[in-house]
Chains A and B, each alone.
Chain A
Amino acid sequence: MLIVISMVTFGIFFVVPQWAGSTPEALASRYVGRAATPETVHLVAERLGFNDPIVVQYGRFLKGIFVGAEYDYGAGVEQCPAPCLGYSFISGQPVWPDLLDRMPVTFSLAIGAALLWVVFGVSVGVLSALRRGSFFDRLSMGTALAGVSLPIFFTGMVSLVVFSYGLGWTPPGGAWTDLTENPAQWAYNLLLPWITLAFLFAATYARLTRAGMLETMGEDYIRTARAKGLREREVVVKHGLRAALTPILTLFGIDFGLLIGGAILTETTYTLPGLGQFAILAIRNQDLPQVMGVVLFAAGFVVVASFVVDLLYAVVDPRVRLS
């Protein structure tokens, strides 16, 4: 998985531009800036090895990530330690520390929202399934369908207009306090993004949980569980929900991993200084090393999250055993 992602990332940034007609010189000129003379551009293209075969370039790219790289800029050799994702060519700073700086924001956003949406989405889904056809079921499924159809940048904006600028209950967009600095302020600032983001995902999870519960509650073993006199609560939670949870867990792994990699839309809407905003800024500035860094970082998190989910399967699904 990581290999595929590294290849695709590499492909996007080094191969696709060439298909589209960029020469090695054109690529290099983006690294040195607009005012460069053709000779400098040619020199940089040589130095960065844009004229080498693709495979060689890819090898060098991987080497930078795992063992670090050395850049020879003529004036001296610059060391770039292990997870070397290159240097931003706007600020000249290495990309990796910048990414680490941005991480707490995205992490806070993702974890808070994930907690909300899992608890809320799954419980609404279970209740809807148990009271199928009731008013509650129709109302919540209607809301969920609307939630699925609403883009987050729209709900986010409306929520800001109403709650921050209209009613003044929540802080305006862009407010961010570090958790270690002031936990209450941290939570207060993130409240609106959490709720908006959670609403979007809760809708999907409620729909999925409801469908899964409807299916499992019709299974024979549920009847068996009831027949042996278990309390309804136990039947629903231990037998029904546990089985219905597996596909939800899969989805959660993917969603959470993607979110950590950059809640791009949410962060843009609320102007939160996280990885998503970093990615967008990098793209607007055509800062290729930064873009590439954030893409790889995001992809890495998806892999980590799906690995954790695989481990969690063993907890939820008794048929899966870790060996």
Chain B
Amino acid sequence: MTAPLDVSGSASEAQPEVVLTGAGQAVQGRSLTGIAWMRLRRDKVALTGGITVLLLVLVAVFATPIIALFGHPPLEFHQDMIDSSTLLPKGDFGGMGSEYLLGVEPVNGRDIFSRIVAGAGISLLIGFLATLVSVLIGTVMGVVAGYFGGWVDQVIGRLMDVFLAFPLLVFAIALAGVVPDKGFGLEGNGLRIAMLIFIIGFFSWPSIGRIVRGQTLSLREREFVDAARSLGARNGYILFREILPNLIAPILVYATLLIPANILFEAALSFLGVGINPPTPTWGGMLSEAVRFYTLPHFVIFPGLAIFVTVLAFNLFGDGLRDAFDPRAH
């Protein structure tokens, strides 16, 4: 079933969405966004993903009060929870209980719950901002390539090919590894976060760029662009006022799908020890510490689950969003 792009007038035409929501009603004009929103609300899986994402963002934003209420400061050592001979947590299930919700880490006894809550902020921050960087680069490159065509398109297209085939992880690791602890006016983990955002964003823009380029190519030939041009509009006006607003939906969809990829990327870099430096808690970093303690399932599982749930939620929501905006879906 194809949803009409601009639903207007004529009740005699097939209106699949109307049939579903209840015939008899007067046919209303609906925007593409309106249709998408309606479809999204009906997609339970995507909604679950979306709500989870929202909850995660809330957790990340209110990390400090949450930790104050339910846990201990993420960097605080609790040697009283550690068996001094084995260096493993005392008690069953890694010291889980009302005091330490998800147990404590071996050796130093840090509160795993607090560390996971604190790690959410860094994961999401890098995930969002890196995506923002790639959306900015990708949109500019894609629009310019698609709109101007010719040799500009050739050059940018080539560049995208090169970037897509890049040994990304290796380069990111190398780059993250050579950057000193101080530079660009920043220090320590502030610099590392900024650098990770830049590296991840800079290497993942072509996926957005391709989509934007393709959309721009088809938008460029549409009547309203011709109309604007014949009215004497300049390129800048057409790009920003005519084409860009029509690109927001696909950009939003693919940005949502890029966020989880970037979160995984950050986790991988931190896992490998070239991301955020300890003791600042990150999910990837927690997993890399867990490597040495195979006998402690809770130490492996909770940070892993945190990554999994976050990435899955974004993927579900993004998939739903894409289906909702895709006129060919359903």
Report which A residues bind B (CB closer than 8 A): 1, 4-5, 8-9, 12-13, 16-17, 19-22, 145-146, 148-151, 153-154, 157-158, 160-161, 165, 254, 257-258, 261-262, 264-265, 268-269, 279-280, 283-284, 286, 288, 291-292, 294-295, 298-299, 301-303, 306
Closest 4 CB pairs of A and B: A20-B183, A154-B304, A283-B177, A149-B312
A162 (CB) vs chain B CBs: closest residue: B297
Other contacts beyond A283-B174, A288-B178, A299-B170: 15, CB < 8 A: A16-B178, A21-B182, A145-B316, A145-B319, A151-B307, A153-B271, A153-B287, A154-B287, A264-B272, A265-B272, A269-B291, A279-B173, A279-B174, A294-B170, A299-B167
Given A258-B167, A291-B177: A153 touches B268 (CB 8 Å cut-off):
yes
By a CB distance below 8 angstroms, the chain A residues around B260 are 149
Stretch among B36-44, B67-75, B158-166 lining the A interface: B158-166
Contact present for A16 and B308 (CB under 8 Å): no
Closest chain B residue to A215, Cβ basis: B328
With A21-B180, A151-B268 already in contact, the answer to whether A12 and B173 are too (CB < 8 A) is no
Q: Which of B180, B264, B272, B307 touches A17 (beta carbons < 8 Å)?
A: B180
Question: Does the CB pair B268–A20 fall under 8 Å?
Answer: no
Known contacts being A20-B180, A22-B180, is A151 close to B171, with CB within 8 Å?
no
Whether, in the assembled complex, B151 has its beta carbon less than 8 Å from a beta carbon of chain A, the answer is no
If the complex has contacts A20-B180, A21-B183, are A295 and B300 also in contact, measured as CB distance less than 8 A? no
Q: Measured between alpha carbons, how far is A158 from B297 in the docked complex, in Å? A: 8
Contact for B294 among A4, A20, A161, A286, CB less than 8 A: A161
Q: Given B167, B175, B312, which contacts A145 in the complex, CB threshold below 8 Å? A: B312
Chain B residues with CB below 8 A from A280, complex form: 173, 272-273
Query: Is B225 an interface residue, CB under 8 A from the partner?
Result: no
When distances are taken between beta carbons in the complex, the residues of chain B under 8 Å from A264 are 169-170, 173, 272
Q: A153-B287, A157-B300, A280-B173 are in contact. Are A299 and B271 (CB under 8 A)?
A: no
Give A58 to B297 CA distance when docked, in angstroms. 49
Chain A to chain B contacts (Cβ below 8 Å), 9 pairs: A17-B178, A146-B312, A151-B267, A151-B268, A151-B287, A151-B311, A280-B272, A291-B174, A299-B166
Which applies to chain A's interface (DSSP): helix, strand, loop or mixed?
Answer: helix
Q: How far is the CB of B291 from chain A (nearest CB, A)?
A: 7
In the assembled complex, the CB of B296 is this many whole angstroms from the nearest CB of chain A, namely 9
Q: Assess A258 versus B184: contact at CB under 8 Å? Given A12-B174, A157-B300.
A: no
- Enumerate B167-211 residues with CB–CB distance to A below 8 Å: 167-171, 173-175, 177-180, 182-184
Contact in complex: A254, B164 (CB < 8 Å): yes
B-side contacts of A145, CB under 8 Å: 312, 315-316, 319
Q: Is B290 interfacial (CB-CB < 8 Å)?
A: yes
When C-beta atoms are compared, the residue in chain B nearest to A207 turns out to be B319
B274 within 8 A of A: yes
Residue of A12, A20, A288 near B171 (CB, 8 A) is A12
Asked whether, in the complex, the Cβ of B315 is within 8 Å of the Cβ of A154, the reply is no
Given the complex, which residues of A lie within 8 Å of B183, measured CB to CB? 19-21
Determine if B273 and A284 form an interchain contact, defined as CB atoms under 8 angstroms apart.
yes
Bound-state Cα–Cα, A262 to B170, Å: 8
A150 neighbours in B (Cβ, 8 Å) = 308, 311
B301 CB contacts on chain A under 8 angstroms = 158
Interfacial chain A residues near B166, Cβ < 8 Å: 5, 299, 302
User: How far is it, in angstroms, between the C-alpha of A20 and the C-alpha of B171 when the chains are bound?
Assistant: 17
In the assembled complex, the Cα of A152 lies from the Cα of B183 at a distance in Å of 32
Chain B residue at smallest Cβ distance from A161: B294
CB distance from A168 to the nearest CB of B (A): 13
Our pick among A22, A149, A302 for the contact of B311 (Cβ within 8 Å) is A149
Q: Which of B168, B174, B268 has the most CB of A within 10 A?
A: B174
Task: Determine the chain B residues whose CB is within 8 A of the CB of A148 once the complex forms.
Answer: 311, 315
Question: Are the C-beta atoms of B178 and A265 separated by less than 8 Å?
Answer: no
CA A165 – CA B292 in complex, angstroms?
A: 13
- With both chains docked as a complex, state the minimum distance between the C-beta of B265 and any C-beta of chain A, in angstroms: 10
Please measure, in the bound complex, the distance between the C-alpha atom of A284 and the C-alpha atom of B268, giving whole angstroms.
15
Which residue, of B175, B178, B273, B287, has the highest number of chain A Cβ atoms within 10 A? B178
Chain B residue with minimal CB distance to A20? B183
Contact of A261 with B180 in the complex, beta carbons under 8 Å = no
Q: Bound state CA distance, A291 and B168, in angstroms?
A: 14
**A158→B300 contact, CB < 8 A:** yes
Bound-state Cα–Cα, A157 to B303, Å: 12
Q: How far is the CA of A306 from the CA of B179 in the complex (A)?
A: 30
Given A1-B165, A145-B316, A280-B272, does the pair A295, B170 have CB atoms closer than 8 Å?
A: yes
Contacts of A258 in B (CB 8 A): 167-169
Q: Is the CB of A158 within 8 A of B304?
A: yes
Contact B167 A261 (CB under 8 A): yes
A22 / chain B contacts, CB cutoff of 8 Å: 180
